[in-house]
Amino acid sequence: MMTETASPAPVRNVLPLRLVWQVPVTLVLVALVVATTGVTMAAVPAIALAAVAAELARTDATVHRLPNRLTVPVIAIGLVVTGVRLLLGELWAPGLLPVAAVSGTVLALGLVGAFGMGDAKLGIAMALAGPTPLVIVAAPILGTLFAGVAAVVVLARGGRGRRLPLGPFLLAGWAVALALQFALAVTSPA
């Protein structure tokens, strides 16, 4: 009589593969935020965005979606922190001008269909999470430039009609804008 032996259960990774790159990216972004702003109230929404940036980029690159469960909390944190900073006198109304300009622009572009509403919400989250006017304004500009370069490369390779996710490029623009702000702060004479 022949007995069947059950094959061993497949070994499952305890750590999902995406965490292998997402954790270091998140740690670098958080360190960059703290190095740029210090441990201040302005850092809170920026750290919130840094915490979800890698997953947002991965999700958008994979399925062309920026989940509300990741963007909306950053917007909420940004609104609350902005309100508290206004009440405490840490932020003056003119300091809100870049946030309002960028948020209004990305919302309008989303509403007219220039890009998806997930991208618009990400743009608003980035504006509210921008610790300085330079980061707030430069991030979407840099992200759009990065996406434009990628689009040219895709077209040059015959990828006409291929959709590119905007979120990863916007987030890269935010990271580069943070790095630029940090570099300016470090190199500026005190």
Higher pLDDT, 96 or 77: 77
Out of 5-19, 42-56, 114-128, which region has the weakest mean confidence (pLDDT)? 5-19
Residue 52 has pLDDT above 70, yes or no: yes
* In the chain, % of residues over pLDDT 90: 74
Out of 20-34, 54-68, 86-100, 104-118, which region has the weakest mean confidence (pLDDT)? 86-100
Q: How many CB atoms lie within 10 A of CB 80?
A: 13
pLDDT (tens digit, 9 = 90+) per residue, 108-118? 999 999 999 99
Q: Kindly report the average pLDDT of the chain as a whole number.
A: 90
Report the C-alpha gap between 123 and 30 in whole angstroms: 19
Residue 164 has pLDDT above 80, yes or no: yes
- pLDDT bracket for residue 19 (50, 70, 90): confident
Report the C-alpha gap between 160 and 162 in whole angstroms: 6
**Vertex 127: Cα angle to 126 and 131 (nearest 5):** 90
Residue 17 has pLDDT above 70, yes or no: yes
pLDDT (tens digit, 9 = 90+) per residue, 33-47? 999 999 999 999 999
Which among 140, 180, 138 has a CA at the least distance from the CA of 35?
A: 180
